[in-house]
Structures are given as structure tokens and as C-alpha cells.
Amino acid sequence: MGLRRRAREAALKILYQIEMSGYNPEECMDSYWSTLGDSQEIREFTNFLVRGVSDFLTSIDEKIKKSSINWRIDRIHKVDLSILRLAVFEMFYTQETPYRVVINEAIELAKKYGTDNSPSFINGILNNIAQTLVNNEES
């Protein structure tokens, strides 16, 4: 498994911990890294992702709300929500990874950590969001 995928998995776990515990991101990252060791490169990218999602959470959630028709954000499965937040952050606030790769990575996380319906649910929402990006690029 690649370094970035491992970092995304770690970020997902930390974001889920934040969502479920209500603790702040720094506490959750400290807790996670104190029990699980990993390379410095994975830690740095993971922490970048978690901090980025936390910093832009309101904007990220608005993008998810607009693209998840008939689904209030509080009704979305918490693992799926964490995956969506992570993917939306990468799509809008980083330039490193093409959105198709981000969507694929999110689907792979959903297959591993979500429900049977998670991959298609996440794919649908992220494709809607990606279409917004494409339309903005074309304007």
C-alpha cells in the first residue's frame, strides 16, 4: 500500500475519532500517533489532511450538503462523512492530486471501512462535487 493511501487511512481514522469523541484535532492526532507508529512522511501528510479538513470544515460541509440531495449531513453515516470530508478537502484545497484519483481513493476507503452502500453513495456525491469543479474550470 502506498504512503499516501496509508496516510489517508490514518486521516480517516482520526477524523472519525474527532467526529465521535468531540475532541479537538490535535488531541486526536496525539492519541492516534501515541498508539500507532508510522513513518514521518505518513505522519506529516496525515496531519496535513486532518488539519486541513478541520480548518475548512464549514466550507467542506456546505459542498457536501449541496451535492447530497435528500441527505442531511447529520443523517450521513459517520464513516462516510469522514471519507467525504477528506476527499472534498483534497479536491478543493490541494492541487497535488487529480480529482479522479481522490474519488478513487475515497471509494477504496469506503469499500474497506464503510457499509455495502458506502462506495456507490460516496461515488455519487463526489462525482457531483467534481462536476462543480469541472464547470468552474471551464468558466
Which domains are delineated in the chain? 3-138 (1.10.940.10)
Q: Is residue 134 predicted with pLDDT exceeding 80?
A: no
Owner of C-alpha cell 474527532: 18
Q: Work out the burial of residue 84: count CB atoms within 10 Å of its CB; fewer than 13 is exposed, 13-18 middle, 19 or more buried.
A: buried
pTM, to two decimals: 0.93
pLDDT for res 72:
87
Share of the chain above pLDDT 90, in %: 81
Q: Are 96 and 4 in contact (CB under 8 A)?
A: no
For residue range 44-74, list pLDDT tens digits in order: 999 999 999 999 999 999 999 999 887 889 8
CA angle in degrees (0–180, nearest 5) for 102-106-108: 120
